[in-house]
């Protein structure tokens, strides 16, 4: 019984060591879990501008979030890349203090952008990372998109 356990342990260690590039042949197939790292947020809203005066707004609200056509909540998103985002209304909305950053998954996003004294604006955007690369067994996404929006004042 001890010999059987010892051989099983040795075989297990060998399999673990060779699973992530431990082989000697450069063309060996690599079988390992991929670790995903988001070096940057997918979308950075750099500014929101008053369309009539050119004034820069300091804070906006994002609401009615949809990802790939499915209604979502801000509190269900990966917040590891959030910058200057405060989730409110039990996840239904988020306050963005400009500039702000959010999202990790490349997808089709839709949300309403609003601020007091301005007409709400439906935003539809499909941001993409500009850089994707990494060492073996890892994916690193970086260089997300930066964008700005205009809001029309309520008259």
Q: What is the CATH number of the domain that holds 75?
A: 2.60.40
Same domain, 68 and 142: yes
pLDDT at 39: 73
CA atoms of 36 and 38, how far apart (whole Å): 7
Same domain, 51 and 105: yes
Same domain, 27 and 37: no
Same domain, 55 and 4: no
The total of structural domains in the chain comes to 2
pLDDT at 53: 97
pLDDT at 78: 85
pLDDT at 48: 98
- The beta-strand segments (E) located in the chain are 35-38, 43-50, 59-67, 70-71, 83-88, 93-102, 109-114, 121-125, 131-133, 138-142, 145-151
Phi–psi pair at 153, nearest 5 degrees: -70, 155
pLDDT at 40: 83
Q: Which domain holds residue 20?
A: 1-31
For the chain, the residue count is 155
Instruction: Provide the token pair at 10.
Output: 């040795």
- pLDDT by residue (tens digit) across 82-125? 999 999 999 999 999 999 999 988 899 999 999 999 999 999 99
Same domain, 22 and 97: no
Ranges under pLDDT 70 in the chain: 1-30, 32-33, 134-138
Q: 104 near 42, Cβ under 8 Å?
A: yes
Same domain, 73 and 83: yes
Same domain, 10 and 40: no
Same domain, 63 and 10: no
Same domain, 142 and 76: yes
Same domain, 26 and 90: no
């Amino acid at each position: 019984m001890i010999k059987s356990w010892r051989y099983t342990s040795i075989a297990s260690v060998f399999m673990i060591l060779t699973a992530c590039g431990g082989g000697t042949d450069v063309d060996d197939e690599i079988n390992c879990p991929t670790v995903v790292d988001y070096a940057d947020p997918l979308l950075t809203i750099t500014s929101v501008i008053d369309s009539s005066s050119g004034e820069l707004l300091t804070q906006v609200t994002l609401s009615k979030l949809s990802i790939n056509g499915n209604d979502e909540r801000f509190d269900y998103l990966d917040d590891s890349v959030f910058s200057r985002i405060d989730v409110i209304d039990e996840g239904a909305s988020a306050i963005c203090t400009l500039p702000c950053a959010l999202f990790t998954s490349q997808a089709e996003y839709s949300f309403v952008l609003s601020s007091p004294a301005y007409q709400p604006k439906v935003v539809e955007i499909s941001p993409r990372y500009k850089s994707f690369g990494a060492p073996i067994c890892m994916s690193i996404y970086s260089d997300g998109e930066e964008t700005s929006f205009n809001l029309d004042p309520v008259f």
